[in-house]
Amino acid sequence: MTEAVETKNEVETDEAQKAIQSIEGPLKGILVDYVGQLLTPDDGQVTVEMVVQTMATEFPEFLLVVARENWLRGYEQALTDVENVEKERTAAIQEQTEKIKATEEKKIDAKYTKAKKESRTTKKTKKNERVSKTT
């Protein structure tokens, strides 16, 4: 694994292993109490990871629905990200194309102006030659 992935996994694991600090609702209280009584941790602290393990063992259908929803949302986000990257690339290509087109147009204009100037010079030279021959 790369260092970035290892660090990310460590952070995720650390977050999952943190002890649940406060109980904000009745369901959370029931879960924490149940997992605490079932697993009887040495330090008396129930972690999110313990709750997930207990839910996976005793109520896998619930976690399957949560995991499926999480997977679908992640997949949708990936598709959205790909779409956005494609839009950005298309915009960048369009911008480059416009720059190239503008540069080419400037080159063509410069060649046209030069050719026009040379044509005028050539006409003047020929006219001067005709005038000098007649005189």
Model confidence, pTM: 0.52
Q: How many CB atoms lie within 10 A of CB 3?
A: 7
pLDDT tens-digit profile, the chain (135 residues): 445 545 555 555 666 567 787 888 999 999 999 999 999 999 989 999 999 999 999 999 999 999 999 999 999 999 999 999 999 999 999 999 999 999 999 999 988 898 888 888 887 777 777 767 766
Instruction: Give 52: exposed, middle or buried? Use CB within 10 Å, 0-12, 13-18, 19+.
Output: middle
Q: In 3-state terms, what secondary structure has residue 19?
A: strand
Taking the C-alpha atoms of residue 45 and residue 42, their distance in angstroms, rounded to an integer, is 8
- Domain extents in the chain: 1-58
How far is C-alpha 135 from the chain's CA centre?
79
Q: In 3-state terms, what secondary structure has residue 47?
A: strand
